[in-house]
Structure 1
Amino acid sequence: MTKKILCFGDSNTWGLNPVTGKRFDENTRWTSLLGKNLGCHFAVIEAGQPNRTLVHNPPFDGVISGVSYLKPYLDKHELNFIIIALGTNDLKKRFNLTPSLIADGLNDLINSIHIYYKQSSILKAPQIIIASPPEIKVTEKYSRIYEDADIKATALSNVFKCVAANNRCAFIDFNAFINITDSDGIHFESNQHLTISFEITQLVQYLFNNC
Protein backbone atom coordinates (compact mmCIF):
# COMPACT_ATOMS: atom_id res chain seq x y z
CA MET A 1 0.00 0.00 0.00
CA THR A 2 1.37 3.43 -0.98
CA LYS A 3 2.43 5.63 1.93
CA LYS A 4 1.44 9.27 1.57
CA ILE A 5 3.59 12.17 2.76
CA LEU A 6 2.24 15.72 2.95
CA CYS A 7 4.92 18.42 2.69
CA PHE A 8 3.22 21.48 4.16
CA GLY A 9 5.32 24.61 4.05
CA ASP A 10 6.09 27.99 2.56
CA SER A 11 8.02 29.19 -0.51
CA ASN A 12 11.01 27.00 0.33
CA THR A 13 8.70 23.98 0.19
CA TRP A 14 7.05 25.35 -2.96
CA GLY A 15 10.54 25.62 -4.47
CA LEU A 16 11.13 29.32 -5.13
CA ASN A 17 14.38 29.95 -6.99
CA PRO A 18 16.24 32.81 -5.23
CA VAL A 19 17.97 33.81 -8.47
CA THR A 20 15.06 33.88 -10.91
CA GLY A 21 12.10 34.27 -8.54
CA LYS A 22 10.38 31.43 -10.39
CA ARG A 23 9.74 27.87 -9.24
CA PHE A 24 12.38 25.17 -9.44
CA ASP A 25 11.35 22.20 -11.60
CA GLU A 26 10.47 18.73 -10.35
CA ASN A 27 14.07 17.59 -10.74
CA THR A 28 15.27 20.26 -8.30
CA ARG A 29 12.64 20.85 -5.58
CA TRP A 30 13.34 18.92 -2.38
CA THR A 31 9.73 17.75 -2.23
CA SER A 32 9.89 16.21 -5.71
CA LEU A 33 13.31 14.72 -5.03
CA LEU A 34 11.97 13.20 -1.82
CA GLY A 35 9.40 11.28 -3.84
CA LYS A 36 12.07 10.10 -6.29
CA ASN A 37 14.36 9.03 -3.44
CA LEU A 38 11.69 7.06 -1.61
CA GLY A 39 10.41 5.26 -4.68
CA CYS A 40 7.09 3.87 -5.83
CA HIS A 41 5.85 2.81 -2.39
CA PHE A 42 5.60 6.47 -1.31
CA ALA A 43 3.56 9.34 -2.73
CA VAL A 44 4.66 12.88 -1.88
CA ILE A 45 2.03 15.64 -1.84
CA GLU A 46 3.67 19.00 -2.48
CA ALA A 47 1.78 21.61 -0.47
CA GLY A 48 4.13 24.57 -0.40
CA GLN A 49 2.66 28.07 -0.56
CA PRO A 50 4.69 31.30 -0.70
CA ASN A 51 3.98 33.62 2.26
CA ARG A 52 2.33 30.89 4.34
CA THR A 53 2.53 31.57 8.08
CA LEU A 54 1.93 29.84 11.37
CA VAL A 55 0.25 32.71 13.21
CA HIS A 56 -1.26 35.52 11.13
CA ASN A 57 -2.73 35.70 7.65
CA PRO A 58 -0.48 37.91 5.50
CA PRO A 59 -2.28 41.07 4.34
CA PHE A 60 -3.65 40.91 0.79
CA ASP A 61 -2.65 37.25 0.36
CA GLY A 62 -5.90 35.58 1.39
CA VAL A 63 -6.38 32.81 3.88
CA ILE A 64 -3.09 30.92 3.59
CA SER A 65 -2.02 30.57 7.21
CA GLY A 66 -1.11 27.10 8.36
CA VAL A 67 -4.17 26.44 10.49
CA SER A 68 -6.62 27.73 7.88
CA TYR A 69 -5.38 25.75 4.91
CA LEU A 70 -4.21 22.41 6.30
CA LYS A 71 -7.63 20.81 6.88
CA PRO A 72 -8.51 20.40 3.17
CA TYR A 73 -5.42 18.22 2.77
CA LEU A 74 -6.38 16.13 5.79
CA ASP A 75 -9.90 15.71 4.39
CA LYS A 76 -8.65 14.66 0.96
CA HIS A 77 -5.73 12.35 1.75
CA GLU A 78 -5.16 9.39 4.05
CA LEU A 79 -1.72 10.44 5.26
CA ASN A 80 1.15 8.53 6.84
CA PHE A 81 3.47 11.49 7.38
CA ILE A 82 3.04 15.26 7.62
CA ILE A 83 6.16 17.38 7.25
CA ILE A 84 5.62 20.92 8.59
CA ALA A 85 8.21 23.39 7.32
CA LEU A 86 7.01 26.83 8.40
CA GLY A 87 8.11 29.77 10.52
CA THR A 88 10.23 31.97 8.26
CA ASN A 89 7.39 34.24 7.11
CA ASP A 90 6.32 34.78 10.71
CA LEU A 91 9.66 36.55 11.24
CA LYS A 92 8.61 39.46 9.04
CA LYS A 93 8.78 42.83 10.75
CA ARG A 94 5.08 43.65 10.26
CA PHE A 95 3.99 40.71 12.43
CA ASN A 96 6.22 41.73 15.36
CA LEU A 97 6.37 38.17 16.73
CA THR A 98 8.90 36.69 19.12
CA PRO A 99 10.30 33.18 18.53
CA SER A 100 8.19 32.02 21.47
CA LEU A 101 4.96 33.31 19.88
CA ILE A 102 5.86 31.66 16.57
CA ALA A 103 6.45 28.42 18.46
CA ASP A 104 2.99 28.83 20.02
CA GLY A 105 1.58 28.99 16.49
CA LEU A 106 3.36 25.75 15.64
CA ASN A 107 2.01 24.14 18.80
CA ASP A 108 -1.54 25.24 17.90
CA LEU A 109 -1.17 23.76 14.41
CA ILE A 110 0.00 20.42 15.82
CA ASN A 111 -2.87 20.42 18.33
CA SER A 112 -5.32 21.06 15.49
CA ILE A 113 -3.96 18.00 13.68
CA HIS A 114 -4.24 15.86 16.81
CA ILE A 115 -7.83 16.99 17.41
CA TYR A 116 -8.77 16.30 13.80
CA TYR A 117 -7.65 12.68 14.02
CA LYS A 118 -9.07 12.12 17.50
CA GLN A 119 -12.48 13.04 16.11
CA SER A 120 -12.18 10.43 13.38
CA SER A 121 -13.08 6.82 14.10
CA ILE A 122 -11.61 5.69 10.77
CA LEU A 123 -8.38 7.56 10.10
CA LYS A 124 -5.11 6.76 11.83
CA ALA A 125 -3.05 9.78 12.86
CA PRO A 126 0.05 10.31 10.71
CA GLN A 127 3.57 10.77 12.03
CA ILE A 128 4.37 14.50 12.21
CA ILE A 129 7.83 15.77 11.30
CA ILE A 130 8.75 19.32 12.31
CA ALA A 131 11.40 21.00 10.18
CA SER A 132 13.05 23.99 11.78
CA PRO A 133 13.71 26.69 9.16
CA PRO A 134 17.36 27.66 8.73
CA GLU A 135 18.77 30.90 9.99
CA ILE A 136 18.35 33.69 7.47
CA LYS A 137 20.51 36.55 6.24
CA VAL A 138 18.94 39.97 5.93
CA THR A 139 20.06 41.10 2.49
CA GLU A 140 19.32 44.42 0.81
CA LYS A 141 16.43 42.84 -1.12
CA TYR A 142 14.50 41.99 2.06
CA SER A 143 16.04 44.45 4.52
CA ARG A 144 12.78 46.28 5.26
CA ILE A 145 10.57 43.20 5.31
CA TYR A 146 12.84 41.10 7.51
CA GLU A 147 14.48 43.76 9.67
CA ASP A 148 16.12 42.05 12.72
CA ALA A 149 14.65 38.70 11.64
CA ASP A 150 18.10 37.15 11.48
CA ILE A 151 18.46 37.65 15.24
CA LYS A 152 15.10 36.04 15.98
CA ALA A 153 15.73 33.19 13.56
CA THR A 154 18.68 31.93 15.61
CA ALA A 155 16.28 31.02 18.44
CA LEU A 156 13.64 29.29 16.32
CA SER A 157 15.34 25.92 16.09
CA ASN A 158 15.53 25.53 19.89
CA VAL A 159 11.91 26.48 20.54
CA PHE A 160 10.68 24.37 17.62
CA LYS A 161 12.65 21.41 18.95
CA CYS A 162 10.91 21.80 22.32
CA VAL A 163 7.48 21.97 20.67
CA ALA A 164 8.25 18.84 18.67
CA ALA A 165 9.41 16.96 21.77
CA ASN A 166 6.40 18.02 23.82
CA ASN A 167 4.07 16.78 21.09
CA ARG A 168 6.02 13.58 20.36
CA CYS A 169 6.83 14.71 16.84
CA ALA A 170 9.98 13.93 14.92
CA PHE A 171 12.29 16.91 14.44
CA ILE A 172 14.80 17.90 11.78
CA ASP A 173 16.91 21.06 11.95
CA PHE A 174 17.82 22.45 8.55
CA ASN A 175 20.62 24.43 10.23
CA ALA A 176 22.46 21.16 10.81
CA PHE A 177 23.24 20.69 7.13
CA ILE A 178 22.64 23.87 5.11
CA ASN A 179 23.55 27.54 5.37
CA ILE A 180 21.46 30.15 3.59
CA THR A 181 23.62 32.07 1.12
CA ASP A 182 23.64 35.74 0.22
CA SER A 183 21.66 35.19 -3.00
CA ASP A 184 18.55 36.56 -1.29
CA GLY A 185 19.15 35.41 2.28
CA ILE A 186 15.86 33.51 2.56
CA HIS A 187 15.42 30.83 -0.08
CA PHE A 188 17.18 27.53 -0.72
CA GLU A 189 19.48 27.17 -3.71
CA SER A 190 19.35 24.09 -5.94
CA ASN A 191 22.18 22.22 -4.19
CA GLN A 192 20.49 22.85 -0.84
CA HIS A 193 17.25 21.30 -2.12
CA LEU A 194 19.30 18.21 -2.98
CA THR A 195 20.80 18.05 0.52
CA ILE A 196 17.44 18.57 2.23
CA SER A 197 15.81 15.85 0.14
CA PHE A 198 18.54 13.39 1.15
CA GLU A 199 18.29 14.22 4.87
CA ILE A 200 14.50 13.99 4.96
CA THR A 201 14.58 10.76 2.97
CA GLN A 202 16.85 9.27 5.62
CA LEU A 203 14.53 10.42 8.41
CA VAL A 204 11.34 9.15 6.74
CA GLN A 205 12.92 5.77 6.07
CA TYR A 206 14.08 5.52 9.68
CA LEU A 207 10.66 6.45 11.04
CA PHE A 208 8.88 4.09 8.67
CA ASN A 209 11.11 1.16 9.63
CA ASN A 210 10.81 1.86 13.37
CA CYS A 211 7.17 2.81 13.77
Structure 2
Amino acid sequence: MFEILIFGDSLTRGADPGQHRRHPFADRWPNVLSAGLAGRASVAAEGLGGRTTIYDDESDQRIDRNGSRTLPTLLASHSPLDLLIIMLGSNDLKPEMCGTADGVAIGMAKLLDIVESAQPSLKTLIVSPPIFVGSEQHGGNPRAGRSIEESRRLGPLLEQLAIRRKSAFFDASTVARSSPIDGVHLDRENTRAIGLALVPIVQAILDCLN
Protein backbone atom coordinates (compact mmCIF):
# COMPACT_ATOMS: atom_id res chain seq x y z
CA MET A 1 0.00 0.00 0.00
CA PHE A 2 1.25 3.49 -0.87
CA GLU A 3 1.70 6.11 1.84
CA ILE A 4 0.43 9.66 1.17
CA LEU A 5 0.77 12.72 3.41
CA ILE A 6 -1.36 15.82 2.86
CA PHE A 7 0.11 19.03 4.29
CA GLY A 8 -2.29 21.95 4.46
CA ASP A 9 -4.28 24.49 6.42
CA SER A 10 -7.95 24.88 7.37
CA LEU A 11 -9.02 23.99 3.82
CA THR A 12 -7.42 20.59 4.35
CA ARG A 13 -8.75 20.37 7.91
CA GLY A 14 -12.26 20.88 6.56
CA ALA A 15 -13.28 24.20 8.10
CA ASP A 16 -16.96 24.95 7.55
CA PRO A 17 -17.40 28.71 6.90
CA GLY A 18 -21.03 28.65 7.96
CA GLN A 19 -20.85 26.64 11.18
CA HIS A 20 -17.41 27.46 12.64
CA ARG A 21 -16.65 23.76 12.89
CA ARG A 22 -15.28 21.00 10.68
CA HIS A 23 -17.15 19.35 7.86
CA PRO A 24 -18.15 15.72 8.55
CA PHE A 25 -15.25 13.29 8.21
CA ALA A 26 -16.48 11.77 4.95
CA ASP A 27 -16.79 15.20 3.30
CA ARG A 28 -13.27 16.52 3.98
CA TRP A 29 -11.36 16.39 0.71
CA PRO A 30 -8.44 14.21 1.96
CA ASN A 31 -10.96 11.58 3.05
CA VAL A 32 -12.86 11.83 -0.22
CA LEU A 33 -9.55 11.23 -1.99
CA SER A 34 -8.78 8.29 0.27
CA ALA A 35 -12.17 6.72 -0.44
CA GLY A 36 -11.66 7.20 -4.17
CA LEU A 37 -8.32 5.41 -4.03
CA ALA A 38 -10.23 2.39 -2.71
CA GLY A 39 -7.59 1.00 -0.41
CA ARG A 40 -4.68 1.53 -2.76
CA ALA A 41 -3.06 4.08 -0.44
CA SER A 42 -3.05 5.19 3.16
CA VAL A 43 -3.83 8.92 3.29
CA ALA A 44 -2.77 10.98 6.32
CA ALA A 45 -4.13 14.54 6.50
CA GLU A 46 -2.17 17.17 8.43
CA GLY A 47 -4.39 20.25 8.18
CA LEU A 48 -3.87 23.14 10.62
CA GLY A 49 -5.94 26.29 10.57
CA GLY A 50 -3.80 29.34 9.85
CA ARG A 51 -0.79 27.39 8.58
CA THR A 52 1.50 29.28 6.18
CA THR A 53 4.40 28.16 4.03
CA ILE A 54 7.24 30.07 5.73
CA TYR A 55 5.62 33.02 7.51
CA ASP A 56 5.21 33.47 11.27
CA ASP A 57 1.74 33.94 12.74
CA GLU A 58 2.13 35.69 16.10
CA SER A 59 -1.60 35.60 16.93
CA ASP A 60 -1.22 32.49 19.09
CA GLN A 61 2.33 31.65 20.13
CA ARG A 62 1.25 28.32 21.61
CA ILE A 63 0.91 26.92 18.06
CA ASP A 64 3.59 27.01 15.36
CA ARG A 65 1.79 27.71 12.10
CA ASN A 66 4.98 28.18 10.08
CA GLY A 67 4.96 25.22 7.71
CA SER A 68 8.70 25.29 7.08
CA ARG A 69 9.32 24.50 10.75
CA THR A 70 6.72 21.76 11.14
CA LEU A 71 7.16 19.97 7.81
CA PRO A 72 10.49 18.27 8.68
CA THR A 73 8.96 16.67 11.78
CA LEU A 74 5.88 15.50 9.89
CA LEU A 75 7.98 14.02 7.10
CA ALA A 76 9.92 12.08 9.70
CA SER A 77 6.89 10.92 11.66
CA HIS A 78 5.05 9.69 8.54
CA SER A 79 8.12 8.22 6.83
CA PRO A 80 8.46 6.32 4.57
CA LEU A 81 6.23 8.24 2.16
CA ASP A 82 5.45 7.79 -1.52
CA LEU A 83 3.64 11.09 -2.16
CA LEU A 84 3.39 14.46 -0.42
CA ILE A 85 0.46 16.71 -1.35
CA ILE A 86 0.81 20.36 -0.33
CA MET A 87 -2.11 22.79 -0.42
CA LEU A 88 -1.03 26.05 1.21
CA GLY A 89 -1.07 29.74 0.35
CA SER A 90 -4.42 31.05 1.56
CA ASN A 91 -2.95 32.24 4.85
CA ASP A 92 0.22 33.60 3.27
CA LEU A 93 -2.11 35.99 1.44
CA LYS A 94 -3.15 37.69 4.67
CA PRO A 95 -1.58 41.18 4.53
CA GLU A 96 0.21 40.70 7.86
CA MET A 97 1.79 37.44 6.67
CA CYS A 98 2.98 38.26 3.17
CA GLY A 99 0.00 39.31 1.09
CA THR A 100 1.30 38.46 -2.37
CA ALA A 101 1.19 35.46 -4.66
CA ASP A 102 4.91 35.93 -5.33
CA GLY A 103 5.57 35.48 -1.62
CA VAL A 104 3.55 32.28 -1.60
CA ALA A 105 5.63 30.91 -4.47
CA ILE A 106 8.81 31.73 -2.56
CA GLY A 107 7.46 29.93 0.48
CA MET A 108 6.37 26.89 -1.54
CA ALA A 109 9.84 26.67 -3.09
CA LYS A 110 11.31 26.58 0.41
CA LEU A 111 9.02 23.68 1.32
CA LEU A 112 10.17 21.79 -1.76
CA ASP A 113 13.77 22.41 -0.67
CA ILE A 114 12.96 20.82 2.68
CA VAL A 115 11.41 17.80 0.98
CA GLU A 116 14.39 17.32 -1.34
CA SER A 117 16.76 17.49 1.60
CA ALA A 118 14.77 15.03 3.71
CA GLN A 119 13.70 12.55 1.04
CA PRO A 120 15.01 13.34 -2.46
CA SER A 121 12.96 10.62 -4.14
CA LEU A 122 9.63 11.69 -2.64
CA LYS A 123 7.07 12.66 -5.27
CA THR A 124 5.23 15.94 -4.60
CA LEU A 125 1.90 17.32 -5.77
CA ILE A 126 1.26 21.05 -5.32
CA VAL A 127 -2.41 22.03 -5.10
CA SER A 128 -3.24 25.70 -5.54
CA PRO A 129 -6.20 26.70 -3.33
CA PRO A 130 -9.44 28.05 -4.79
CA ILE A 131 -9.60 31.73 -5.73
CA PHE A 132 -11.08 34.00 -3.08
CA VAL A 133 -14.47 35.65 -3.58
CA GLY A 134 -16.20 38.62 -2.02
CA SER A 135 -17.56 37.94 1.46
CA GLU A 136 -21.02 38.69 2.77
CA GLN A 137 -19.62 39.04 6.29
CA HIS A 138 -16.59 41.22 5.57
CA GLY A 139 -17.84 44.14 3.52
CA GLY A 140 -17.49 42.45 0.17
CA ASN A 141 -13.84 41.48 0.74
CA PRO A 142 -12.41 38.07 1.63
CA ARG A 143 -11.86 37.41 5.33
CA ALA A 144 -8.80 38.99 7.01
CA GLY A 145 -8.23 41.55 4.25
CA ARG A 146 -7.00 39.07 1.68
CA SER A 147 -6.82 40.11 -1.99
CA ILE A 148 -8.96 38.41 -4.62
CA GLU A 149 -6.56 39.55 -7.33
CA GLU A 150 -3.53 38.01 -5.58
CA SER A 151 -5.43 34.74 -5.20
CA ARG A 152 -6.07 34.79 -8.96
CA ARG A 153 -2.33 35.18 -9.57
CA LEU A 154 -1.43 32.26 -7.33
CA GLY A 155 -2.37 29.29 -9.52
CA PRO A 156 -0.21 30.26 -12.53
CA LEU A 157 2.78 31.04 -10.29
CA LEU A 158 2.56 27.73 -8.46
CA GLU A 159 2.14 25.88 -11.74
CA GLN A 160 5.33 27.49 -13.07
CA LEU A 161 7.12 26.49 -9.85
CA ALA A 162 5.87 22.92 -10.17
CA ILE A 163 7.18 22.70 -13.73
CA ARG A 164 10.60 23.98 -12.68
CA ARG A 165 10.83 21.64 -9.71
CA LYS A 166 9.35 18.59 -11.46
CA SER A 167 6.38 18.45 -9.11
CA ALA A 168 2.86 17.49 -10.12
CA PHE A 169 0.32 20.33 -9.99
CA PHE A 170 -3.43 20.82 -9.67
CA ASP A 171 -5.38 24.08 -9.48
CA ALA A 172 -8.31 23.54 -7.12
CA SER A 173 -10.04 26.65 -8.48
CA THR A 174 -10.86 24.61 -11.61
CA VAL A 175 -13.33 22.52 -9.59
CA ALA A 176 -14.08 24.46 -6.39
CA ARG A 177 -15.32 27.92 -5.47
CA SER A 178 -14.79 29.65 -2.13
CA SER A 179 -17.87 30.31 -0.03
CA PRO A 180 -19.34 33.83 -0.17
CA ILE A 181 -19.85 33.57 3.59
CA ASP A 182 -16.21 34.45 4.31
CA GLY A 183 -14.73 34.44 0.80
CA VAL A 184 -11.99 31.94 1.68
CA HIS A 185 -13.27 28.62 3.03
CA LEU A 186 -15.31 25.96 1.28
CA ASP A 187 -18.77 24.53 1.75
CA ARG A 188 -19.26 20.78 1.84
CA GLU A 189 -19.84 20.33 -1.90
CA ASN A 190 -16.78 22.32 -2.95
CA THR A 191 -14.60 20.59 -0.38
CA ARG A 192 -15.70 17.21 -1.74
CA ALA A 193 -15.08 18.39 -5.31
CA ILE A 194 -11.36 18.77 -4.66
CA GLY A 195 -11.03 15.23 -3.34
CA LEU A 196 -12.98 13.78 -6.24
CA ALA A 197 -10.94 15.68 -8.83
CA LEU A 198 -7.67 14.52 -7.29
CA VAL A 199 -8.50 10.81 -7.45
CA PRO A 200 -7.47 10.26 -11.11
CA ILE A 201 -4.48 12.60 -10.73
CA VAL A 202 -3.16 10.72 -7.72
CA GLN A 203 -3.96 7.37 -9.35
CA ALA A 204 -1.79 8.37 -12.32
CA ILE A 205 1.06 9.41 -10.02
CA LEU A 206 0.89 6.10 -8.15
CA ASP A 207 0.86 4.21 -11.46
CA CYS A 208 4.21 5.81 -12.29
CA LEU A 209 5.63 4.73 -8.92
CA ASN A 210 4.91 1.04 -9.48
TM-score by length of 1: 0.91
Q: After TM superposition, where is structure 1 displaced by more than 2 Å over at least 4 residues in a row?
A: 95-98, 140-148
Secondary structure of 2:15's counterpart equals coil
Identity %: 25
CA distance in 1, matches of 2:38, 2:66: 31
In structure 1, what is the equivalent of residue 83 of structure 2? Answer: 81
Matched, 1:130 2:129: no
CA distance in 1, matches of 2:162, 2:208: 18
Alignment of structure 1 residues 34-73 onto 2, 5 Å: 34-61=33-60, 62-73=63-74
Cα contact 2:84–2:125 (8 A) shared by 1: yes
CA distance in 2, matches of 1:144, 1:170: 28
Residue 55 of structure 1: how far off its partner (Å): 2.5
Secondary structure of 2:182's counterpart equals coil
Secondary structure of 1:199's counterpart equals helix
Once the two structures are superposed, residues 33-91 of structure 1 have per-residue CA deviations (whole angstroms, 9 ceiling, x without a partner) of: 11111122311101000000012121133322111111122112211111000000011
Matched, 1:164 2:139: no
Secondary structure of 2:184's counterpart equals coil
Task: Flag structure 1 segments of 5+ consecutive residues without an equivalent.
Answer: 119-124
The count of residues paired between Structure 1 and Structure 2 equals 204
TM-score by length of 2: 0.91
Residue 147 of structure 1: how far off its partner (Å): 2.5
Secondary structure of 2:81's counterpart equals coil
Residue 95 of structure 1: how far off its partner (Å): 2.3
Change (3 A) 1:96 1:204: closer
In structure 1, what is the equivalent of residue 95 of structure 2? Answer: 93
CA distance in 2, matches of 1:193, 1:140: 19
CA distance in 2, matches of 1:57, 1:180: 24
Task: Flag structure 2 segments of 5+ consecutive residues without an equivalent.
Answer: none
Secondary structure of 2:3's counterpart equals strand
CA distance in 2, matches of 1:96, 1:131: 19
CA distance in 2, matches of 1:145, 1:39: 36
Residue 146 of structure 1: how far off its partner (Å): 3.4
Alignment of structure 1 residues 113-192 onto 2, 5 Å: 113-118=115-120, 125-142=121-138, 143=141, 146-147=144-145, 149-192=147-190
Greater alpha carbon shift after TM alignment, 189-198 vs 84-93: 189-198
CA distance in 2, matches of 1:182, 1:145: 10
CA RMSD after TM alignment? 1.6
In structure 1, what is the equivalent of residue 113 of structure 2? Answer: 111
Secondary structure of 2:24's counterpart equals coil
Change (3 A) 1:148 1:198: closer
